Amino acid sequence: MSRPVIGITVYSEQAKWAAWDVQATLLPQAYVDRVAAAGGLPVLLPSVPDIAEALDRIDGLVVAGGGDVDPARYRSAAHELTGWVRPARDTAEFALAEGALARRMPVLGICRGLQVLNVLRGGTLVQHLPDRLGDTRHAPAPGQYGRHAVTLVDGSRTAQLYGRTEIDVATYHHQAVDSLGAGLVVTGRAPDGTVEAVELPGQPFAVAVQWHPEVDPDLSPFTGLVAAATAWAHTGAEPGTEERTPVDATAAGAQPAGAAAAV
């Protein structure tokens, strides 16, 4: 059986290497390594017009971390600390995510990817978490991941991926879910109530996490995506499980509301 092709969205930024300092299409190597280690064949999806046509050639989609989603997409004025907005990337990723869901293609959102999914479904974002929480625990310093616990809803897809309901995650985001997008359910929260995982019931695999699983050794989200992509490519079905309808994390005793953003 051939390996499923997993498309990963990417950055377009000014970058330096060797003698060069130019605009580049790039992605942290960890995303590629984790997809490959999980058994997928990673390909990069640049922010170019009509990139959604690539959905005809891939079996699963990772919407990667990155800068902030343009607040105009959720009818808000920009906060003074909202930054690294890239309109071309927004356009590409929203088209890719919408097209993938329409095909019932497996989707994994990571950090910014969760926020893209939430805004695509009509939700809104808290643009700067420290304004709400009073500290920078979710992004402690530039270029430095924080760590915190996440409580997952028992029986949710995310909890089944990890095999437990309490996990420790790498975090780097200053925005997060505020109002939840249509059809999404919250399946993980931080101790401060920040939404950390969402799922879209009715899809074979539509999972998004606010943390950065690509920097940790646990491959669970990637192996889950690759298994779902393999099944989708060959049968269009979910791999060996019944469809689940997870419940909100507040049912597990987590605090309500909260927010957090992307990198």
Residue type, 145: Y
Task: Indicate if 173 belongs to the active site.
Answer: no
What is the residue type of 176?
Answer: A
Active-site residue, selected from the candidate residues 93, 111, 128, 199: 111
Task: Label residue 53 exposed, middle or buried (CB < 10 Å: 0-12, 13-18, 19+).
Answer: exposed
Provide the token pair at 188: 């993980």
The C-alpha atoms of residue 109 and residue 7 are separated, in whole angstroms, by 12
111 is catalytic: yes
Instruction: Indicate which residue of 93, 196, 199, 214 is catalytic.
Output: 214
Handedness of CA 251, 61, 90, 136 (dihedral sign): positive
| Inter-residue contact 101 to 203 (CB < 8 Å) | yes
212 is catalytic: yes
Name the active-site residue from 173, 174, 212, 238. Answer: 212
Residues carrying an active site annotation: 111, 212, 214
